Amino acid sequence: MVEIRLTNSRTRKKEPFAPIDAADLRVYACGPTVYDRAHLGNARPVVVFDVLFRLLRQVYGEDAVTYVRNFTDVDDKINARAAETGRPIRDITEETIGWYHDDMDALGALRPTHEPRATDYIAQMIAMIEELIEKGFAYEADGHVLFEVRKFPDYGQLSGRSLDDMIAGARVEVAPYKRDPMDFVLWKPSEGDLPGWNSPWGRGRPGWHIECSAMSAELLGDVFDIHAGGIDLQFPHHENEIAQSRCAHGTRVMANTWLHNEMVQVEGKKMSKSLGNFFTVRDLLDQGIPGEVIRFVLLMTHYRKPMDWTAEKAAEAEATLRKWRALTDGVEADTPSPAVIAALADDLNTAGAIAALHDLARAGDAAGLKASAQMIGLLGDGMGGWLAEGPDLTPLAVRFAALREAAKASKDFSAVDAMKQQLLAAGIEVRMSAAGVELIPGPGFDAVAVEAMS
């Protein structure tokens, strides 16, 4: 069997993956808070851990892997959006979950085995909080229930932070009902129109962190194989998950392996609304960038390195996919290449897997290329529609035809030749006949160069 090695954030080492039960692998990834469209940074963990899901299914069998990714549908951001718009919270969360599914489907991500919603697991959260209080790890104060961080000596081990250093560096005002500045909320009161559920501590709602602990325990058990998410969640979210889960269940670990993907940049800068480089997956799709191209760009960089989205990478990805689809059109997929599987088994080295795909293409192994690309979610039969539609080159064809007609009259074809060279350099085949001019995207099609010509 292929040996998979993963970099475990908990131990800071690349380790052989040893499942608790090879016939029942269990993976949890933190999902979105459903109040708005998913941006490119939200999409990266979806694609990265979709590749992990595919790899585990390839090595251990499809029926052996259970993958859980949650929806946070109770949160103050959702409450704020409801207050701003005057819309019911349920309408907002249902609409946003629909958007999320549409956008992640466009990226070729498989649906997880389970997609639990936090509001369906309130009873499990209350039960876990009661357990933590009974065991002396949590306390009630001023209508809140808080986890007492000092009671858990291992707090900070995942993120490598000292508790005292964290307190010294804190710049937030400490709530008066906290025994310690680092204690975090498990339950808080709800008043007025805010969502709330009856509990032993009054009507209220859960804190953010408790939901993942409750849902993962319910669906995967007290200890499971892999917990995954973005590096931005490592502290405090994942640190708090570990604390409350281990204390509630009395276990040595919550998950054996922790995986964290790095952040996304745009053209070398942090993605932010203030810089004007913040965009959602839907923004890119609406701009005509195919989901398959977005997925390819996300996989070009190893998950543990910052990923820089650039127009140049998108053009490169599109050109490569055009070549590969032309090579594999009508070909029956064979079995995935051992070189591609080996790259993925080496800590999800997607860049190495893509390099192996290029090797298959150069060797003319269309069947192996198709099977191997499909293993990482590319060249799927349902994702090639964008290629069939193709870009709208009509304006360029009209302009070229006009230059050609003018050249016939003046006998000066220099402008025609110059534009033809531009088109060829952009990967566009130029066909001229008595019927007119036809421009056809070729394997080296460069969308960025075409846009510059338009």
The CATH architecture that domain 5-261 belongs to is 3-Layer(aba) Sandwich (3.40)
Q: How confident is residue 430, by pLDDT bands cut at 50, 70 and 90?
A: confident
Q: Which residues lie below 8 Å from residue 19, measured CB to CB, with a gap of 6+?
A: 25, 60, 225
CB count in 10 Å sphere of residue 77:
12
Note whether 97 and 71 are within 8 A (CB): yes
On the question of pLDDT at 133 being above 60, the answer is yes
pLDDT at 170: 56
| Better-predicted residue by pLDDT, 385 or 7 | 7
Rounded mean pLDDT of the chain?
A: 92
| Better-predicted residue by pLDDT, 127 or 412 | 127
Q: How confident is residue 443, by pLDDT bands cut at 50, 70 and 90?
A: low
pLDDT digits (tens, 9 = 90+) for 359-393: 999 999 999 999 999 999 999 988 878 876 556 67
On the question of pLDDT at 167 being above 70, the answer is no
| Better-predicted residue by pLDDT, 86 or 17 | 17
pLDDT at 440: 75
Identify the H or E element spanning 188.
strand 184-189
| Better-predicted residue by pLDDT, 355 or 447 | 355
pLDDT at 67: 98
Taking CB atoms within 8 Å and a gap of at least 24, the contacts of 272-278 are: 278/39
Q: How confident is residue 272, by pLDDT bands cut at 50, 70 and 90?
A: confident
- The residue extents of the domains of the chain are 5-261, 264-388, 391-453
Residue among 450, 9, 1, 2 at smallest CA distance from 237: 9
Q: What is the mean pLDDT of residues 251-276?
A: 91
Both structure tokens of 201:
């501590």
CA angle 167, 170, 172 (to 5 degrees): 130
Q: What is the mean pLDDT of residues 130-152?
A: 97
What does 106-159 look like in DSSP terms, one character per residue?
Answer: HTTPPPPSB--BGGGGHHHHHHHHHHHHHTTSEEEETTEEEE-GGG-TTTTTTT
pLDDT at 442: 66
Note whether 83 and 195 are within 8 A (CB): no
pLDDT at 408: 87
Q: What is the mean pLDDT of residues 228-242?
A: 96
pTM of the model: 0.86
Note whether 52 and 29 are within 8 A (CB): no
Q: What is the mean pLDDT of residues 262-271?
A: 90
Taking the C-alpha atoms of residue 135 and residue 226, their distance in angstroms, rounded to an integer, is 26
| Better-predicted residue by pLDDT, 35 or 431 | 35
Give the distance, in angstroms, between the CA of residue 142 and the centroid of all CA atoms in the same chain: 38
